[in-house]
Structure 1
Amino acid sequence: MGGGGAGLVVRDLSVGYGPVRALREVSLEVPEGAVVTVLGGNGAGKTTLLRAVSRTLAFHGGTVTGGTVSLGDRRLDGLPPDRVVAAGVCQVPEGRQVFARMTVADNLRAGTFGSSGGRTARAAALRRVHELFPVLAERAQQHAGLLSGGEQQMLAVGRALMAAPKVLLLDEPSLGLAPLMAERIADTVREINDQGTSVLLVEQNAAIALRLADRAYVLEVGEVTLSGPADELAASDEVRRRYLGVVDEDAAADASSARGTLPALSRWEG
């Protein structure tokens, strides 16, 4: 992990679904070589944020109403989705969404559509994917729909990596996976980052996300309410209570002693 120059920069991004405002002037940065995570409850706007960056928002009825998205010195807002991929930003959507009736090999091949690399670059990308996920090489001719949930998640990530992105957008990669598989996916995210790919991570498992990330942002009802180094947020009482399931021990003890002094309620009769 780490972070240097001007990578992905989101400035004052606002998004609406018809009359409903989903994001309100959201700003964040993913420096080159960094892992940045976005935390928040259901409906906070996390997936909307990723869709706005990847320019797939229109497919879901949303519209960017203000703000900018840039990669380095290049503006991405206004580009069609395939040009965003060519510029170096790829999204792995929530729920994996592999092409179930296509083979694993064809799913990976589909990941090169829109990428700017030639045959040599595609071959190098495939080698990288197979090194990260050997099971995808072993099952190249198997239909993707027959893979386990964890293997489908590997395939979805591998498909995005076929475009050799500079920034990988990951939407809930551990969702629905057993804890062991979720940790395996997390290890792979770290390895992908160590190889030089920046990552913008939306992850329901806040403990995993904060462990992987350099920096974190908290979204609440479409607005950034907290941001900072991931280790500082992980130590924050508010973040620990709301996203890590850690209860303040003193408060818990007070509540427990208070319960002991309350009169017992008699059973209702009637």
Structure 2
Amino acid sequence: MQRISANMLKIYIIFLLLILIRLCSFNIFNWINNSPQEIIPSNRTLGFDHIYVLHLDYRKDRREIMDKLLSYFNLDVEYFEAVSKYDKILNKFTNANSKLTVGQRACYVSHYLIFQSIIEEGFNNTLILEDDVDFEVNITEIMADIYQNLPEHWDTLHIGHCYEMIGQPVGSSSFPNKLYQSVNPQCTHAYAVSNSGAHKLLKLIDPIKPIGPVDYEISLIINSKKIISYSIHPQPIIQWKENFPSEVSFPTTFQFSLTNSTMNLLGLIDKNQYPGQ
């Protein structure tokens, strides 16, 4: 009987140890899943579900530079074929009698099709980049910090913008690049759209009856408070067009600069010719 009792005791102890190991493993697994490291945005997509880069196939000059920038940051992106001003699809989506230039019409439809793709693919949020941008060297760290302050519900996040005024601050940050409520962001070279934002924008804009260029219409929607929008100041992604003419707008002298340009770091531009320097 003593031998049987001893064996039962061993079995009981082993059983308790197995339960304890199981509980510890479960708690460790939960801790890992809920630890700060896990909620920090993925470096390969700057924290977003997906990254689209709007690109015209025949602009090999821009593709070459974008590939080098994306490789430097080790980013996963999908090149989204932009609508060309020569594309016959414009006749389907736009009105030839529109006050917009043919380039602006093509840009409008390109972004409209991306909003549709966000919904079709089921992305929770997507970063949209045009193929003529430059990044702050520490863009990954900046976006990780922004995500700590970004409210749960948002429709658009303007990482790059033009003519934007500084709105009410949101959260706090140790970085110079801080989050604010959007006021009047224009330009579409670097902005993110949530799934809810894509649904709203598709209902609120119409390439057949445009009020103005797509960035102007989005800024009007933001001003009307029909979508929830935030902007980053100073912007960590800017548009670079000095040596690469735009397919959409006329040349402008309204330029922006970065604190630490990645294009400059990689030798893709002459730092003496950099805007603002």
TM-score bin (small chain): under 0.3
CA radius of gyration, larger in: 2
TM-score (norm 2): 0.26
TM-score (norm 1): 0.27
Structure whose residues are more often strand by fraction? 1
